[in-house]
Amino acid sequence: MMTFEQTGIKPELLSAISAMGFEQPTPIQEKTIPHLLNNKHDLIALAQTGTGKTAAFGLPILHNCDVNKKDIQSLILCPTRELCLQISRDLDAYSKNLKGFKNIAVYGGADISKQIRELRSGGQVVVGTPGRVHDLIRRKVLNVSQIRWMVLDEADEMLNMGFKEELDAILAETPAIKQTLLFSATMPREIANLAAKYLHSPEEISVGRKNEGAANVEHHYYVVQARDKYATLKRVADNYPNCYAIVFCRTRMETRDVAEKLMADGYNADALHGDLSQSQRDYVMGRFRTGQLQMLVATDVAARGLDVNSLSHVINYSLPDDPEAYIHRSGRTGRAGKSGISVSILHMRETGKLRHIEKLLNKRFERKDVPGGEEICEVQLMHLVEKVAQVEVNDSKIDPYMPAIMEKFEGLSSEEILKRFVSAEFNRFLAYYKNAPDLNVRGQERKMVDKRGGRGSDRGDRADRGDRGGDYGGGNMSFSRLFINAGKKQNLNASRLLGLINEHSKRKNVEIGKIDIQRKFSFFEIDSRFEKELIQSMNSSSLDGHSLEVDRVTGEEHVSVPKIKKKKSQMDQPRAKRKRTKR
């Protein structure tokens, strides 16, 4: 295996990373660093989060930077504030022996005047989020017209978050002659289009296959009734007493609901979602990073860019709408050479989604039985015994009390005393799980899930296309397919659409089906019982000043031009006054 000395980076960098404990390059570093040191071709690098991408592009940029010039020589774009700060901290650590080097972090949610002062004082590298970088360029404060390196880190995440327009505007300000480095965990069509537009004859480096999850992550799933998902989450947490996990939910409302229930039930948890202020977000993340929180309940949007390397579990309370988002979720565990487990809690209508994800990852997920009460009690008992066995005893503090303690236990054997101490802590688990029901979906339903030799039965495929009745847990529930006159051009994505639906729905936990975001319009499925009230509410609203129009789609599901039922009031108007449906 190659050493860092063999990559060719300068001694000042070698001494810094050696002090940090870096011994040998990771696979992405081993492939990327020599490439960037020895040629100026554009580069597409595909690797999962947690594989050492920052050093892969950061060390070559530091090696080649001219520290005697204070002009911006490199711009590094990343999707979130947290990742921006992490990259900046890493660059500071790598460059501690490079006199005269300075990197500047610019991101939203912070005082822009302070960032402006830092930019005016000069530096070689700017690390920033697309929104704030674009803002600073428009203010004529940040000049990127002379940069030599352009880095797009987690490019797929930036596109998923709706930053395409900002990326286009920023890249238009950069010089034609530069080295562009695109790092991404997945390679969807949008990334391929971005690369074709802005990279010139790029070389491609890949660690693992495209869209492949981390090799040291196990993928487990449970199948339960929808009403039992929260009870299953608690059993998973109890069955892994030392778990350190992110619990992913689909919506802000679900995130708040699950986090509040966990905290009320005595679990060490908190929520991270888009309704939090930056100071609240920083407080929650600070507690989670330092281990004061055991479980962080979050949406995909809120959790993007989090830099936590020691997660034991990722728990999918709900599967994401986009199968590629699962790759990002599961990639947050099993990092820095450690192993991890990605757990999915499914109800029957989500088994179709699971098959799509398995196909994308080219991995078979392992179905697990939800642990029963006796199993959990045994795990908790041994966890307690292990914890007691490892307790450090301070003899000088305890010895003065021992005579009184021994007097209290007079007549009891050492075994009886031990039983009482263990029971004092353990009895609550015995009481809670006494006569605990079996939460697993069994019988005919289980056979349908497990018979997957040909990647899914016909009934399973229908579950993801809209036939959600019968054996899939929906009873007589039917779904309506709705049209909304907003899409990617209006910065609408799946997460934002779910937020709109939650905002305009009077009820919690309204079932949402398939979401299809197009350029200027979108489709989504909703429990038919709530169709009318949602249409009425959303039709009187707007999205960033864009008046929304929502209606039910009739005809076939997959149509290029939606067939919308015309409102009677509109059809009764004279032709010249009719409001045209925007698409």
Our CA angle for 209, 211, 213, nearest 5°, is 85
174, 206, 238: which is the final residue of a domain?
206
| The total number of structural domains that make up the chain | 4
Q: From the centroid of its chain, how far is CA 129?
A: 17
- Is the overall model pTM greater than 0.75, yes or no? no
Tell me the one-letter amino acid at 304: R
Domain closes at, from 345, 372, 399: 372
Q: Are residues 254 and 281 in the same domain?
A: yes
With the CA atoms of 164, 165, 168 and 169 taken in that order, what torsion angle do they form, in degrees rounded to the nearest 10?
Answer: -150
Instruction: For residues 224 and 367, state if they share a domain.
Output: yes
Q: Is 143 in the same domain as 275?
A: no
CA distance 178 to 564: 48
Structural domain range at position 419 = 374-432
Within-domain flag for 465 = no
Q: Which residues of the chain have pLDDT under 70?
A: 1, 48-50, 208-215, 301-307, 336-337, 443-477, 506-509, 554-583
Residue 316 sits in a domain whose CATH number is 3.40.50.300
Last residue of a domain, one of 206, 240, 271: 206
**Are 225 and 301 within one domain?**
yes
The answer to whether residues 200 and 110 belong to one domain is: yes
Instruction: Say whether both 573 and 553 belong to one domain.
Output: yes
On whether both 421 and 284 belong to a single domain, the answer is no
- 467 domain residue, yes or no: no
CA angle 192, 195, 201 (to 5 degrees): 115
Listed residue (389, 382, 390) closest to 426, CA to CA? 382
- Paired sense of beta strands 550-552 and 546-547, if any: unpaired
Q: Are residues 180 and 300 located together in one domain of the fold?
A: no
Q: Where are the alpha helices (DSSP H) in 226-364?
A: 229-239, 252-264, 278-289, 300-303, 323-330, 351-361
Domain assignment present for 100: yes
**Residue 181 φ then ψ, to 5°:** -120, 120
**pLDDT, tens digit, for every residue of 147-202?**
999 999 988 888 877 888 999 999 999 999 999 999 887 777 788 888 888 999 89
Same domain, 416 and 274: no
Please check whether residues 190 and 311 belong to one and the same domain: no
The answer to whether residue 61 is domain-embedded is yes
User: What is the DSSP track for 155-222?
Assistant: HHHHHHTT-HHHHHHHHHTS-SSSEEEEEES---HHHHHHHHHH-SS-EEEESSSTTPPPTTEEEEEE
443: in domain: no
Does residue 471 belong to any structural domain of this protein? Answer: no
**Domain presence at residue 118:** yes
pLDDT of residue 331: 80
**Shared domain check, 295 and 360:** yes
Reported as a single tens digit per residue, the pLDDT across 281-329 is 888 888 898 888 999 999 876 666 566 778 899 999 998 877 777 887 8
Q: Which residues pair with 473 in a beta bridge?
A: none
Cα–Cα distances in Å, from 130 out to 79, 81, 159, 187, 304? Answer: 7, 10, 10, 20, 14
| CATH label of the domain that carries residue 518 | 3.30.70.330
Report the alpha-carbon distance of residue 514 to residue 530 in Å, rounded: 16
State whether 358 and 231 are in the same domain: yes
The C-alpha atoms of residue 467 and residue 552 are separated, in whole angstroms, by: 17
